[in-house]
Structures are given as C-alpha cells and as structure tokens.
Amino acid sequence: MAISSKRLLVFLFLCIANSLQFLIVSSSTSPQGYQEYAAARTLKQEQGNAHEVHCSRERSRAAWKIIEKYLMPFVEKEKYQISISCKLHPENDLYRDQEQHKLHEDINEWRCGYCKKTFYDEKYLDKHFDNRHYHLLNVSQGRCLADVCGALHCDQVMDSATRKTKCNPAAAAKNKHLCESLAHSCFPVNEGPSAHHLKEFFLRQFCDAHTCTGRQKPFSKGGKKEMSILYIILSVMILMLLLLFYGFVYLYRRGIKRGTQGLKRISKSRQKKSS
Ligand SMILES: [Zn+2]
C-alpha cells in the first residue's frame, strides 16, 4: 500500500514537471515572447556602447509636434519659407531624420527604417537609435529642438508632473523672452507682410501665455484639425439612421392614409346596401 502511494506521488510529480516544461517552451517560442526576448537581448547588447547626447529626444519630439500642429499650418497658409537660421526649422532638429525613420506598423510593432529591426515599444526603438544609429546624429552644430521647449509650452502636451507645479514668475519671464526672440529671428519684419503677419500670430499663439495670471492660454488660435476615422464612421451612421427614420415615418403615414381611405370605401358601400 505504502509503495503504491509512493509510486503515485512520483507519477504526479513527473506529470507536473512535464507540463511546466511544455509551458516554458511554448511561451518562449510564441512570436510575442520571442519579440520581447529579442528586444531585451538587443538592449543588453546595446547598453554597452551607449553614447551621450545632451539633448532630450522626448522634449524635442514634443516641440516638433507643437510646431507641426500649431505653427506649420499657418506658415503654409502664408506660403512663407522659414530660414535655416530660425531654431524652428526642421534642419535644426537633431532627431528629425531618425524620427522620420520610425515606422509604426502595428500597435505593438515599431520598425527601424534604417535596418528594419522591429520592437514592441517605441522606447526600445529610441534606445536602438541611440545605440546603433548614433553616428547619424550631427551633434556638432548644437541643433537641439528641446532648447525651445520652454517657449513652445512643451509641458502642455507632455505627460509631465511639472504642469501642476506653481507658476514661477521668473521662469515665465525667461520663457517669454525666449519666445519673443524666436518670433523676431524666425519672422523678421523686413521680409514682407507675410513675415509680419506670422510674427504677430506667433506672439499671440505662443508668447502671450507666458504669464502667471493664467488668463492667456497657449495655442489660442487653434491648430490643425485631425479628422479621425471614428468621426467619419459616426457621421455616416447618424446619416443612415436619419434616412431610416424618415423612411419609416413616410411609410407609416402612407399606411394610415390608405387605411382611412379603405375604411371610408367600406362604410360607403355599407350605406348604399342599407339604403
Ligand atoms: Zn536600426
């Protein structure tokens, strides 16, 4: 009896060990698991030769997003060419070329446009750029878009904890000064009426909000409207529902009309019969 229970225990133990082994093997060969493993491995390999660049990629990206959304549509409308001496020119963004080589192919799939390697998160692709394609960054010219973040209100578009901190009048004055110097250098008034319009626009759109009164909000002139697919689908659905509703009302009314006409005919024929 004791021997048979011991055998049963050994058998159960072997079964559990086998199923555990199967689980480990299947998870490491699944595509997602492999991708994570590969990303972790590449990171480990690449962490060894990280190169220091004193310019924040995140803040540069935030500044570029603001320029693209809240400035460029107005510059294009005026058909104005921003000169390369202006810090907002795309050439003065150290990371522009790398950012343009980011391919977001699926929710969890980011591809490097230089070497076609894939990553499941944007931050791993950023790391990969920092380590493998750092030589593409021309760091010698001091082209850091993050430097103008203070003027452009980057904290407004970034998930930053600094947004809720108390307004510092000295910092606000410094940012206003930086903002105004950008307006002067990017849109010199001697370059014609469009530069003059854009300079005034820039001061209202970005510089006026650098106060601690809280009365002025940045990007007051609005930005590029993004037409989402969801919005289009919703509009089409509402249109279809309206058509259905009116169609139903029309058919219903016609039905009532015919019904009353039929009733009238029946009552008339009865009256004739009774007379
Ligand atoms: Zn690459």
pLDDT in tens, the chain (275 residues): 444 555 655 554 454 555 444 444 333 333 333 344 444 444 444 444 456 778 999 999 999 999 999 999 999 999 999 999 999 999 999 999 999 999 999 999 999 999 999 999 999 999 999 999 988 887 777 789 999 999 999 998 886 555 567 889 999 999 999 999 999 999 999 999 999 999 999 999 999 999 998 888 888 888 776 666 677 788 888 899 999 988 888 888 888 777 777 667 767 777 766 65
Boundaries of every domain in the chain: 30-207
3-state secondary structure (DSSP) of residue 79: coil
SS3 of 220-245: CCCCCCCCCHHHHHHHHHHHHHHHHH
Alpha-carbon distance of 194 to 187, in angstroms, equals: 9
| C-alpha of residue 61 to centroid of ligand 1, in Å | 19
| C-alpha of residue 84 to centroid of ligand 1, in Å | 28
| C-alpha of residue 111 to centroid of ligand 1, in Å | 8
pLDDT of residue 223: 78
| C-alpha of residue 203 to centroid of ligand 1, in Å | 40
pLDDT of residue 20: 43
| C-alpha of residue 197 to centroid of ligand 1, in Å | 42
| C-alpha of residue 128 to centroid of ligand 1, in Å | 6
Residue 102 DSSP code: E
Residue type, 43: L
The Cβ-side half-sphere exposure at 250, using a 13 Å CA radius, reads 6
Alpha-carbon distance of 113 to 4, in angstroms, equals: 63
| C-alpha of residue 116 to centroid of ligand 1, in Å | 6
| C-alpha of residue 39 to centroid of ligand 1, in Å | 12
| C-alpha of residue 131 to centroid of ligand 1, in Å | 9
pLDDT of residue 162: 53
| C-alpha of residue 70 to centroid of ligand 1, in Å | 31
| C-alpha of residue 99 to centroid of ligand 1, in Å | 12
pTM value? Answer: 0.65
| C-alpha of residue 100 to centroid of ligand 1, in Å | 12
